[in-house]
């Protein structure tokens, strides 16, 4: 396939922000926190969702695309950002796919839902025949 790309590596270098509770400037570093879950699965399940829905013809070049988003207290993806792109078409395509995401099970701290921010890298390489 001309200009075909495939995902070579999905890094688990996911950074989790500390969930904020009670005030925008108040950050809790301790307490029982359970991370958000994508449709009862883990980040591999989310990765599969992204790859199934991503139009790989929109990935313009090899490299790493870095996206960031917040799973809010209701489980919706908010504050979707492309931190590092591979061209504007690839950035718009990743945003489109992230906006399609079904609700997650939100993260909890001490039994209460909290927002959590994820930064996830996707690395693309040109398919060699």
What pLDDT, in 10s, does the model give residues 2-38?
Answer: 444 444 444 333 434 333 333 444 455 556 888 899 9
Can you list the alpha helix ranges (DSSP code H) found in 1-129? 43-53, 88-100
The model's pTM: 0.74
Give yes or no for residue 79 having a pLDDT over 80.
yes
> Dihedrals φ, ψ of 83, to 5°?
-80, -40
Output the pLDDT for position 34. Answer: 87
Mean pLDDT, the chain, whole residue set: 80
CB atoms near residue 39 (< 10 Å): 14
> Whole-angstrom Cα distance, residue 62 to residue 6?
9
CB 119, CB 14: distance < 8 Å: yes
**What pLDDT was estimated at residue 4?**
47
pLDDT at 56 over 80: yes
């Amino acid at each position: 396939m001309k200009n075909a790309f495939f995902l070579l590596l999905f890094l688990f270098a996911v950074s989790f922000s500390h969930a904020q509770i009670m005030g925008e400037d108040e950050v809790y570093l301790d307490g029982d926190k359970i991370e958000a879950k994508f449709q009862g699965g883990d980040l591999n399940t989310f990765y599969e969702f992204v790859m199934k829905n991503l139009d790989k013809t929109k990935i313009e070049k090899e490299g790493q695309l870095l996206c960031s988003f917040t799973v809010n207290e209701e489980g919706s993806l908010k504050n979707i950002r492309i931190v590092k792109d591979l061209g504007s078409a690839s950035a718009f395509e990743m945003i489109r796919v992230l906006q399609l995401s079904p609700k997650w099970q939100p993260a909890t701290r001490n039994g209460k839902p909290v927002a959590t921010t994820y930064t996830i890298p996707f690395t693309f390489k040109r398919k060699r025949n």
